[in-house]
Amino acid sequence: MKLKTKILGALVSIGLMMSGCGSDQAVEQSSAEKTFTYGTVAYGVAMENAGTNPHESYSGWSTLRYGIGETLFKFNRSMQLEPWLATDFEQIDDFTVKITIDPNAKFSNGKPVDGAAVKKCLEHLIANHDRAPSDLKIDSIIAEGKSITIHSTEKMPALLNYLSDPYGCIIDVDAGFDNHIVVGTGPYKAVKVTDTQIELVKNENYWGVDKPKLDRITVKSITDGDTLTMAMQNGELDAVQGLPYSSLQLFVDKPDFKLSQTDTSRIYQIAFNFDTPALQDINVRRAISMAVDKKNFTDVLLHGNGTPAVGPFPSNLPFGDQTVNAVEYDLDSARSLLNEAGWADSDGDGYVDRDGQNLELNYLTYTSRQELPLLAEMMQSNLKSIGVKLNVNATDNYKTFLKTGEYDMFSKAIVTAPTGDPEYYFTSHIVPGAVDNAGHYDSAEIAALEEQLHNTYGADDRSALAIKMSQQVLDDCALIYASHLKMSFVMKNNVEGFAAHPSDYYEITSLLDKT
């Protein structure tokens, strides 16, 4: 089949709403410059995004978030795809798509963005990135003038969604990667990059309609919540992202500050390790799931900056919480299930036991996402109320414990729909053998449904399959979904054009200004 179609109308039908060194390029700051200082917990080595090269680990998030790079397509506030560096596409067949590039697009060095440059960028991406090759399944790319034609090794209904992942930022590969600095197409360009800071200057060659309004921006990594809070209070920063939820109230209804918040698909989830003998019993997993007080976690510990979760996706997506069901918070039923599974407190020590052994589990999480230790404390308390002993290990060295298998439950924060499409989450975290399937969950039903999803075009049909998969995970009590999180920005009241986005991308844009 060959169907020419404009991106706005047709994308929804083929996909779903889805250590650095300093550079001597840094320039002296002039007193006449319009500057902006941004503090964030989301940049640095621990986040695997120190640098601006989108072809390294998760550094694409920095490229995209800080206005250095742009992708062929982007997500609107409804998480539907829209054109960006591309203008439209042509679905040649199930394996082939032709993408037309905006004739005005150019890199920050003034070089036009043409098909040859995009082809070279994408080929370098799949040759160097750890996730992109398995996501994109690209077999070949043909460049012709202002277009590229991508042929995939298999059906790729969500190809354009994956190309909108931060690793899909189009960069000028010929310009090189000196000191982790790349040449992108965004409104700002990096002139100095370290593990803890990025210095940006205005891209005088920006091709977009809205030209950048600031001369210089400094992005600072401040991972300690109290330090970040004090820096904002003291006026050292113009805006912040990632304040502890307990600190947000310090800035609400204050004349010198304003907030921007939005719901995202970032979620706090807890995976059961299916290699743990006691957790191979679904009644034990179900009992533990029923003991989690999600409402108290979001209302009290998150100070209302989250929504109790049912499944992996928020309700603003068509395959979200409103479409699935999970066990309810019910301590009495949880105790009964444990008793049915043969776990009872026979010695009166407050913990259930069987064959002379208490039901004692090791819970692993990390501290760089500041509310995860709070979730761990709540879980410890909740499970004690049903007689389960939980030992908490909160460490940013968590990957070592994941590799050695020294955990029974693992909690993390993850964006489940960064591409606006559900398949990303399942292939990365749920299907048998997935790289982030920390619980070693192995479901034949999930594998079969993923096979269908991977070969299905059309938003409605893909949503229906995603709902079935989410429900299967919930029916198996394979994971606990605690809370969907809000993205929160705090800024001085003279800051304009700085708004939280559901995708968790698009922070510094050409609209950012200080009045």
pLDDT digits (tens, 9 = 90+) for 325-383: 999 999 999 999 999 999 999 999 999 999 999 999 999 999 878 789 999 999 999 99
Q: What is the CA radius of gyration of the chain?
A: 24
Give all domains of the chain, ordered by start, each with its CATH number.
Answer: 3-221+493-514 (3.40.190.10), 264-487 (3.10.105.10)
Angle between helices 459-475 and 444-454 (to 10 degrees): 170
What is the share, in percent, of the chain residues with pLDDT greater than 90? 81
Helix (H, G, I), strand (E, B), or coil: what is residue 454? helix
- Rounded Cα distance between 91 and 149, Å, is 10
Phi, psi of 315 (to 5 degrees): -70, -10
* Predicted confidence band of residue 30 (pLDDT cuts 50, 70, 90): low
Name the one residue in this structure whose structure tokens are 């304040």: 243
Among 16-20, 196-200, 366-370, the range of highest mean pLDDT: 196-200
Q: Name beta bridge partners: 114.
A: none
Residue 212: pLDDT over 90: yes
DSSP string, 197-243: EEEEEE-TT--SSS----SEEEEEE---HHHHHHHHHTTS-SEEE--
C-beta separation of 62 from 51 below 8 A = yes
Token pair of 478, please? Answer: 């394979």
pLDDT band at 207 (very low <50, low <70, confident <90, very high): very high
Comparing 408 with 3, the larger pLDDT belongs to 408
Q: Is 21 a residue whose pLDDT tops 80? A: no
Q: Which of 79, 46, 49 has its CA nearest to residue 64?
A: 49
Q: Flag whether pLDDT at 32 surpasses 90.
A: no
Residues 280 and 223 sit within 8 Å (Cβ to Cβ): no
Looking at residue 31, its pLDDT comes to 59
Q: Which residues pair with 240 in a beta bridge?
A: 39, 490
Instruction: Supply the pLDDT for residue 382.
Output: 97
> What is the per-residue pLDDT for 263?
82
pLDDT at residue 13 is higher than 50: no
Q: What is the tens place of the pLDDT at every residue in 410-463?
A: 999 999 998 889 999 999 999 999 989 999 999 999 999 999 999 999 889 999
How far apart are alpha carbons 512 and 211 in whole angstroms? Answer: 10
Q: Using CA atoms of 273, 323, 447, 329 in order, give the dihedral in degrees to the nearest 10.
A: 20
Residues 37 and 500: their CA atoms lie apart, in Å, by 17
Tokens representing residue 113 in the block = 């963005």
Pick from 18-32, 150-164, 470-484: least confident = 18-32
pLDDT at 8 over 50: no
Residue 79 and residue 155 in contact, taking contact as beta carbons nearer than 8 Å: no
Strand partners, 35: 216
Give the span between the Cα atoms of 176 and 228, in whole angstroms: 34
Residue position matching structure tokens 């113009």:
238
Report yes or no: 132 and 121 within 8 Å, Cβ to Cβ: no
Q: Which of 53, 15, 163, 480 is nearest to 290 (CA)?
A: 480
pLDDT digits (tens, 9 = 90+) for 251-310: 999 999 999 998 888 999 999 999 999 999 999 999 999 999 999 999 999 988 889 999
Buried b (16+ CB within 10 A) or exposed e, 290-326: bbbbbeebbeebbeebbbbbbbbbbbbbbbbbebbeb
DSSP-based three-state secondary structure for 165: coil
Q: Give residue 16's Cα distance to chain centre.
A: 16
180 band by pLDDT with thresholds 50, 70 and 90: confident
Is the torsion defined by CA of 269, 273, 277, 282 positive or negative?
A: positive
Closest CA to 294 of 320, 247, 261, 327: 327
Residue 19 binned pLDDT confidence (cut-offs 50, 70, 90) = very low
Q: What is the pLDDT of residue 385?
A: 97
Average pLDDT, the chain: 92
Per-residue pLDDT at 16 exceeds 70: no
Band of pLDDT at residue 129, cut at 50, 70 and 90? very high
Q: Name the helix (H) or strand (E) containing 3.
A: strand 3-6
- The answer to whether residue 321 scores a pLDDT higher than 60 is yes
State how far the Cα of 283 lies from the Cα of 126, in Å rounded to an integer.
Answer: 43
For 375-393, what is the mean pLDDT?
97
CA–CA gap between residue 472 and residue 446 (Å, rounded): 7
pTM: 0.79
Between 1 and 360, where is the model more confident?
Answer: 360
Q: Which residue has the tokens 């400094």?
A: 218
CB 267 within 8 A of CB 484: yes
Give which of 450, 407, 405 is closest to 430, Cα–Cα. 450
- Report the length, in residues, of the chain: 515
The pLDDT score that the predictor gives to residue 309 is: 97
pLDDT in tens, 108-123: 999 999 999 999 999 9
Contact present, 466 and 459 (Cβ < 8 Å): no
Contact criterion met (CB below 8 Å) for 182 and 149? no
The residue among 359, 358, 215, 220 whose CA lies nearest residue 287 is 359
313 vs 321: CA distance, rounded Å? 6
- Inform me whether the pLDDT recorded for 172 exceeds 90: yes
pLDDT of residue 504: 87
Burial class of 16 by CB neighbour count within 10 A (0 to 12, 13 to 18, 19+): buried
Alpha-carbon gap, residue 116 to 129, rounded angstroms: 20
What is the enclosing helix (H) or strand (E) of 332? helix 331-340
- The values of phi and psi at residue 152, to 5°, are -100, 155
